[in-house]
């Protein structure tokens, strides 16, 4: 007895002959939604219009500050730019990513991911905005480290309204050597000790924790004068001292392993005698 499987379906309404039939995009025609080209062009035009609006909003701010000689609060720029960006993101997600025509679960997953990002950024903003309550010295704007931005720029104007980053003029020298020379408010540098005529005290403190070799700025060789040159520079469990140059015997005609074995045998023979 034959069985008609043309319209076979299970309890969930899934048709094995039409695996895409479970997609409830269109009641009239079960299947994947195909966006109309007119709709895509319309969304594209709207996105381009919002892009032009973003540039216009920025230029409007600049014109108002110049024409009326005022300084607009930063939140105006943030609110305006983020509002336009949010609308553009919704249009892209709804139409180009087809979340508008897809299951609500996909939209929920995307919104949950955005919520997690907002939660992370929110706690970071709370931290950066309340550090002055714990330590007043940390109130100025936080700057990224390790980028070297502004190291060779002129000092910042105290009357300038925006603090982009602390400006330090190193004169083209290495930032590490510059910091060692000039120091800071809490820890004076080498120039301070030279003016006092007590350079030996600086190098004594320096070499006490950095006795791997003579420093470039040590012009009078306090490394040897203070007795740090006699320190054992071999690596141990507490400190690692680099070794420079080629390994002895690495490129010699004699096999280093064989030479080492011969030396070991000679030492054992000497011990036997």
* Domain-embedded: residue 108: yes
For CA atoms 230, 235, 239, 242, give the dihedral sign: positive
Contact 199, 175 (CB under 8 A): no
Q: What are phi and psi of 39, to 5 degrees?
A: -65, -40
pLDDT, tens digit (0-9, with 9 covering 90-100), for 94-115: 998 889 888 889 999 989 999 9
93 plus 188 within the same structural domain? no
* Domain-embedded: residue 155: no
* Domain-embedded: residue 47: yes
pLDDT of residue 160: 46
25 plus 119 within the same structural domain? yes
**37 is in which domain, residue-wise?**
19-133
* Domain-embedded: residue 64: yes
* Domain-embedded: residue 258: no
Which of 19-28, 38-47, 204-213 has maximum average pLDDT?
38-47
Does residue 265 register a pLDDT over 90?
no
24 plus 102 within the same structural domain? yes
122 plus 26 within the same structural domain? yes
Contact 32, 38 (CB under 8 A): no
In whole angstroms, how far apart are CA 61 and each of 47, 52, 76, 122?
21, 14, 9, 26
156: confidence class by pLDDT, cuts 50, 70, 90: very low
129 plus 180 within the same structural domain? no
Q: Give the chain's domain count.
A: 2
97 plus 192 within the same structural domain? no
23 plus 129 within the same structural domain? yes
180 plus 121 within the same structural domain? no
3-state helix, strand, coil in the chain (%, to 5): 55, 0, 45
pLDDT of residue 1: 47
26: confidence class by pLDDT, cuts 50, 70, 90: very low
What string of DSSP letters covers 109-164? HHHHHHHHHHHHHHHHHHHHHHGGGT-GGG-SPP--SSS-TTTBSPPPPTT-S---
Mean pLDDT in the chain? 73
pLDDT, tens digit (0-9, with 9 covering 90-100), for 129-148: 787 787 776 665 555 444 44
187 plus 125 within the same structural domain? no
Does residue 92 register a pLDDT over 90?
yes
From 107, 133, 159, the end of a domain falls on 133
Helices (H), the chain: 37-68, 74-91, 104-130, 175-182, 190-196, 199-209, 222-225, 256-272
126 plus 179 within the same structural domain? no
Does residue 20 register a pLDDT over 70?
no
pLDDT of residue 180: 84
Beta bridge partners of 188: 183
* Domain-embedded: residue 86: yes
Cα 17 from Cα 205, distance rounded (Å): 83
Cα 179 from Cα 148, distance rounded (Å): 13
* Domain-embedded: residue 82: yes
For CA atoms 123, 128, 129, 130, give the dihedral sign: positive
pLDDT of residue 260: 54
Cα 229 from Cα 212, distance rounded (Å): 9
pLDDT of residue 132: 76
38 plus 129 within the same structural domain? yes
* Domain-embedded: residue 87: yes
From 70, 101, 133, the end of a domain falls on 133
From 133, 149, 164, the end of a domain falls on 133
pLDDT, tens digit (0-9, with 9 covering 90-100), for 227-264: 777 655 566 666 666 665 566 666 666 555 555 555 55
pLDDT of residue 177: 80
CB atoms within 10 A of CB 218: 20
117 plus 193 within the same structural domain? no
Cα 225 from Cα 199, distance rounded (Å): 12
pLDDT, tens digit (0-9, with 9 covering 90-100), for 170-206: 666 677 788 888 887 778 888 989 888 889 888 888 8
């Amino acid at each position: 007895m034959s069985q008609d499987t043309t319209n076979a379906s299970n309890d969930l309404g899934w048709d094995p002959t039409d695996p895409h039939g479970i997609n409830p995009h269109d009641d009239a025609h079960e299947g994947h939604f195909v966006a109309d080209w007119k709709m895509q062009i319309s969304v594209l035009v709207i996105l381009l219009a919002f892009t032009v609006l973003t540039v216009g909003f920025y230029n409007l701010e600049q014109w108002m500050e110049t024409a009326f000689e005022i300084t607009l609060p930063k939140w105006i720029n943030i609110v305006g730019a983020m509002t336009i960006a949010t609308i553009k993101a919704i249009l892209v997600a709804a139409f180009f990513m087809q979340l508008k025509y897809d299951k609500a679960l996909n939209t929920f997953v995307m919104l949950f991911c955005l919520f997690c990002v907002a939660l992370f950024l929110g706690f970071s903003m709370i931290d950066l905005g309340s550090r002055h309550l714990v330590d007043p010295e940390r109130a100025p704007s936080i700057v990224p480290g390790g980028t070297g931005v502004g190291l060779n720029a002129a000092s910042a104007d105290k009357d300038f309204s925006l603090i982009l980053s602390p400006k330090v003029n190193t004169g083209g020298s290495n930032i590490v050597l510059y910091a060692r020379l000039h120091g800071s408010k809490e820890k004076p540098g080498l120039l301070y000790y030279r003016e006092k005529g007590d350079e030996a005290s600086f190098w004594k403190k320096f070499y006490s924790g950095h006795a791997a070799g003579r420093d470039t700025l040590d012009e009078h060789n306090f490394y040897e004068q203070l007795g740090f040159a006699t320190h054992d520079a071999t690596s141990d469990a507490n400190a690692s001292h680099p070794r420079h140059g080629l390994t002895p015997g690495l490129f010699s005609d004699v096999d280093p392993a064989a030479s080492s074995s011969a030396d070991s045998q000679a030492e054992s023979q000497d011990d036997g005698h």
